[in-house]
Amino acid sequence: MHGSRVTRTVSLVLLAFFLVVIPATAREIDSRGTYNGFFQSTQHSGLWGLMQFVITDVKNHRFTGMVTMLIGGGVGVPFPVDGTVSTSGEFTGNGRGMGGKVQFHGQIMFLPGGAAVADASYFLMPSGVEPPEPDRGTATLVRDFVPDNPPPLVGGHWDGVATSSIDGSQTTFHLDVRQTCMNGRPGTEFAGREIIDPEMPFIFQGTVNGDGRFVTIGWSFTNDRFIVIGSYQPPDPGKPATAKADYTLMFGNGFTDRGTFMMMQQLFPPDPCSPIGGQ
């Protein structure tokens, strides 16, 4: 009787151990898709370019894909890559191509509706350079929303005020936005320039869905970059549309600012699919 109780007790303890120590298989995040954005060197001033990161396949948290750096106005340098991506969106990988070897580590933030933002640091060892001159930098990229309902007209001119949650300071800004046209209707992609200092504008690109949710990434030639997530508010009769958002601004010197902004669109935004009104 006593031995039987001991046996049952040991069995229950072992069962509890396995239930606690061996977790269920973590849910696989669908990180597949095309991420477009930019990279900036933190070692070589003025070295930057566009970047595309394509994740073609993910299985058991391992991914395969391609990173392409567009240097000097569009010279593509491709790197077949593989790596891992966790349920939380943390990813790391490496690749090798004719341009050399690249390693990267970062975080993907997944948003409802299919959009995502990938922010990472990279280490590049170029080939064909003697002695090799490695480069380190950052890359920020965005995956578009999955097209659903037609998105709002977000192109044209916007004016707004950003308020820092760090020190309460306020900054005025102006946006010039160009929205794409897709199959005869406004597209989910947009791009443009943000002007705070006319001598050093930010270049940005983003995506918006049919509900008016948007995400934007931007960068300047001084290695500053930002991520903005917000929502578009449709206009009332005779009044312009507005938008509000949260931002994270990462300066090239390592300082980070966070806050919110409100902005107002011109009263009659251009139709990107019109040969007259499109930009």
pLDDT tens profile 110-120? 999 999 999 99
The pLDDT of residue 197 is above 60: yes
- Say how far apart CA 251 and CA 253 lie, in whole Å: 5
* Backbone conformation region of residue 125, classed left if phi is above 0, alpha if psi is from -120 to 50, else beta: beta
Average pLDDT over residues 210-225: 94
pTM of the model: 0.85
pLDDT score, position 130: 60
Eight-state DSSP code of residue 152: P
Of residues 256, 259, 161, 152, the one with CA closest to residue 206: 152
Q: Is the bond preceding 131 in cis, omega lying within 30 degrees of 0? A: yes
pLDDT score, position 18: 32
pLDDT score, position 222: 85
Under the banding of pLDDT at 50, 70 and 90, the label for residue 107 is very high
Under the banding of pLDDT at 50, 70 and 90, the label for residue 109 is very high
- For tokens 């966070």, the residue is 258
- Residues spanned by CATH 2.40.128.120 within the chain? 156-265
Under the banding of pLDDT at 50, 70 and 90, the label for residue 198 is confident
pLDDT score, position 127: 84
In a 13 Å sphere around the CA of 73, the CA atoms on its Cβ side amount to 0
- Residues spanned by CATH 2.40.128.30 within the chain? 33-143
In a 13 Å sphere around the CA of 154, the CA atoms on its Cβ side amount to 34
pLDDT score, position 24: 43
Strand partners, 83: 63, 93
- Say how far apart CA 65 and CA 48 lie, in whole Å: 22
Q: Express each pLDDT in 131-145 by its tens digit.
A: 568 899 999 999 999
Q: Which helix (H) or strand (E) holds 13?
A: helix 2-21
Rounded percentage of the chain residues whose pLDDT exceeds 90: 68
Under the banding of pLDDT at 50, 70 and 90, the label for residue 175 is very high
pLDDT score, position 27: 72
The pLDDT of residue 12 is above 50: no
Under the banding of pLDDT at 50, 70 and 90, the label for residue 58 is very high
Give the class (CATH, top level) of 156-265.
Answer: mainly beta
Kindly report the CATH number that applies to the domain delimited by 33-143.
2.40.128.30
pLDDT score, position 31: 95
The pLDDT of residue 169 is above 80: yes
Q: Strand 213-219 vs strand 202-208: parallel, antiparallel, or unpaired?
A: antiparallel
Strand partners, 151: none
Of residues 109, 153, 157, the one with CA closest to residue 271: 153
Contact 148, 132 (CB under 8 A): no
Under the banding of pLDDT at 50, 70 and 90, the label for residue 276 is low
The pLDDT of residue 46 is above 90: no
Residues, the chain: 279
pLDDT score, position 128: 73
Q: What is the mean pLDDT of the chain?
A: 87
Q: Express each pLDDT in 176-192 by its tens digit.
A: 999 999 989 999 999 99
